Amino acid sequence: MTSSVVVIGAGLIGTTTAWYLAERGFDVTVLDRREGPALETSYANGGLLTPSEADPWNAPGTLGRLLRWLGREDSPLLLRPTALPGMLKWGIGFLHASRAVPHRRSTEAILRLALYSVRMLDELVYQLHPDFDALNNGTIKIFRNRSALEQSLELADALRPLGLESHLLDPCEAVGLEPALNTISDQLVGAIHYPADQSGDAHLFTLAMAKHAAAAGVKFRFNTSVQAMRVDATRIQGLITQQDEIHADIYVLAAGSYSPQLVRPLKLRLPIYPVKGYSVTVTPAQGHSLRVPVVDFEQKLVLTPLGDRLRIAGTAEFNGYDITLNAARSGSILCQAMAILPGLAASVEQGGVISWTGLRPMTCDGPPVLGKTPYGNLFFNTGHGPLGWTLCAGSARIVADVITGRTPDIDPGAYSFSRFMH
């Protein structure tokens, strides 16, 4: 008999999981409280598929930077003092994982998953031809500060044996690769090109995957908010929504930043914090000339060409579940982008700008949480933080493997929930 699965969340992660499960013959239903797929964090992210960004944000030294920038509206990392009481436990885990050895271990685990994930995404693209303004030009990471460049080079060298290709460029070579950097070449001390990185619109991709999943038999129930899980000692018995109770053999939690709330009553503590970020999408009337997505290392900013649009994304704000659009924060990333591409100013004046904010579901140690839970029929696929687009295909495939009882292509141990159970 066909087993039924309910996936909670129709973002990048839930939708891709639903596709793989349907492909393996499960009877799949996806629930989402919103009116369509990918309307929360997967809506307007930076668009980068970047194994090159595998190192989690709690690199040794982050605490010092956070404290230095405390309360500064224009800083790339902003910790609001009012958020502190609500993030104490998570913050301790974040700091604990920021020591050199665990940080390197997390970086390697995320890199393995990211490289696998981009391969799986390539297979999906080959198989399904989703249209998502995809680009295969790598990324170029720019540096204005020599010690930051040296640190990144050291990491790039250490990760090369694991499969991350990278090339150091001097400012002239950087402009040769991406002529749009011409205006800031005198500020640069160098750049690193990661040729295997890719980019594309995560929202368009999720819409395409939802369409293919529906064609493969997946049922989507939108405007359906899961309010609680009904459980006995070992299994989930049902999901209580605002309309009814929904039953299945298996449940997958892919609710992004809102995953912890749903399992807290089950005494499962998912250490995921909603780290707020912003994006601005500009459609220049005269088009744009950016060919290679740019990562501005010091400003924590990315500039990504998505067809005739440019997506600028960045900033990390620790401010709980607040999703108000702060004009100072989105204005600040736009100003930084205009400092790199002065030609954007005209489009901004003409008003072709869409601002957005989203909450990155960030685990305290970096890697996502995939697979089994103490409840036999509940599985996690959540906590992808700043890299959910990069990690979606691989994570979804691993979770589908675990549910099916197949051995995943990469060892899922580093992403297990059990790492938090002590």
Ligand X SMILES: Cc1cc2nc3c(=O)[nH]c(=O)nc-3n(C[C@H](O)[C@H](O)[C@H](O)COP(=O)(O)OP(=O)(O)OC[C@H]3O[C@@H](n4cnc5c(N)ncnc54)[C@H](O)[C@@H]3O)c2cc1C
Q: State whether the Cα torsion 218-378-122-287 is positive or negative.
A: positive
Q: Which backbone phi and psi does 307 adopt, to 5 degrees? A: 60, -130
Q: Considering only residues 206-225, where is the footprint of ligand X by CB under 6 A? A: 225
Q: State whether the Cα torsion 236-255-405-416 is positive or negative.
A: negative
Alpha carbons 357 and 335: distance in angstroms, whole number: 17
Does the footprint of ligand X cover residue 255 (CB under 6 A)?
Answer: yes
Q: Considering only residues 326-385, where is the footprint of ligand X by CB under 6 A? A: 358, 360-361, 382, 384-385
Write the DSSP symbol of residue 304. E
Torsion, Cα of 341, 345, 347, 349 (10° steps):
170
CB-CB neighbours of 167 under 10 Å: 14
Under 8 Å between Cβ of 274 and 323: no
Choice from 29, 45, 299, 355 touching ligand X (CB under 6 A): 45
- By beta-carbon proximity to ligand X, the closer residue of 138 and 171 is 138
Choice from 14, 51, 271, 274 touching ligand X (CB under 6 A): 14
- By beta-carbon proximity to ligand X, the closer residue of 149 and 396 is 396
Does the footprint of ligand X cover residue 18 (CB under 6 A)?
Answer: no
- By beta-carbon proximity to ligand X, the closer residue of 174 and 391 is 391
CB-side neighbour CA atoms (13 Å) of 237: 6
Alpha carbons 292 and 193: distance in angstroms, whole number: 9
Does the footprint of ligand X cover residue 117 (CB under 6 A)?
Answer: no
Question: What are the beta bridge partners of residue 198?
Answer: 49
- The distance of closest approach from Cβ of residue 101 to ligand X in the complex, given in angstroms and rounded to an integer, is 25
Structure tokens at 283: 């459609």
Structure tokens at 418: 């059990």
- The distance of closest approach from Cβ of residue 207 to ligand X in the complex, given in angstroms and rounded to an integer, is 12
Structure tokens at 64: 């010092």
- The distance of closest approach from Cβ of residue 385 to ligand X in the complex, given in angstroms and rounded to an integer, is 6
Does the footprint of ligand X cover residue 300 (CB under 6 A)?
Answer: no
Residue 158 C-alpha from the chain's centroid: 23
Does the footprint of ligand X cover residue 258 (CB under 6 A)?
Answer: yes
DSSP state letters, 222-235: -S--EEEEEE-SSS
- The distance of closest approach from Cβ of residue 116 to ligand X in the complex, given in angstroms and rounded to an integer, is 14
**Which of the ranges 156-164, 256-264, 344-352, 402-410 carries the binding residues for ligand X, by CB under 6 A?**
256-264
- The distance of closest approach from Cβ of residue 65 to ligand X in the complex, given in angstroms and rounded to an integer, is 18
Alpha carbons 198 and 5: distance in angstroms, whole number: 31
Does the footprint of ligand X cover residue 263 (CB under 6 A)?
Answer: no
* Residue 405 region by backbone torsions, left for phi larger than 0, else alpha for psi between -120 and 50, else beta: left
Closest CA to 385 of 82, 107, 68, 99: 107
- The distance of closest approach from Cβ of residue 256 to ligand X in the complex, given in angstroms and rounded to an integer, is 3
Alpha carbons 17 and 11: distance in angstroms, whole number: 10
- By beta-carbon proximity to ligand X, the closer residue of 173 and 309 is 309
Choice from 200, 277, 284, 408 touching ligand X (CB under 6 A): 277
Alpha carbons 89 and 95: distance in angstroms, whole number: 10
- By beta-carbon proximity to ligand X, the closer residue of 140 and 387 is 387
Under 8 Å between Cβ of 385 and 393: no
Number of residues this chain uses to bind ligand X (CB under 6 A): 43
- The distance of closest approach from Cβ of residue 147 to ligand X in the complex, given in angstroms and rounded to an integer, is 25
Does the footprint of ligand X cover residue 42 (CB under 6 A)?
Answer: yes
- By beta-carbon proximity to ligand X, the closer residue of 108 and 173 is 108
Choice from 205, 278, 318, 417 touching ligand X (CB under 6 A): 278
- By beta-carbon proximity to ligand X, the closer residue of 174 and 370 is 370
CB-CB neighbours of 106 under 10 Å: 21
The residue ranges of DSSP E strands in 342-394, in sequence order, are 353-363, 369-372, 378-382
Choice from 313, 334, 370, 399 touching ligand X (CB under 6 A): 313
Does the footprint of ligand X cover residue 390 (CB under 6 A)?
Answer: yes
**Which of the ranges 31-39, 207-215, 281-289, 371-379 carries the binding residues for ligand X, by CB under 6 A?**
31-39
Choice from 7, 33, 303, 393 touching ligand X (CB under 6 A): 33
- By beta-carbon proximity to ligand X, the closer residue of 45 and 152 is 45
- By beta-carbon proximity to ligand X, the closer residue of 76 and 277 is 277
Residues that bind ligand X (CB under 6 A): 8-14, 31-34, 38-42, 45-48, 225-226, 254-256, 258, 262, 277-279, 302, 313, 358, 360-361, 382, 384-390
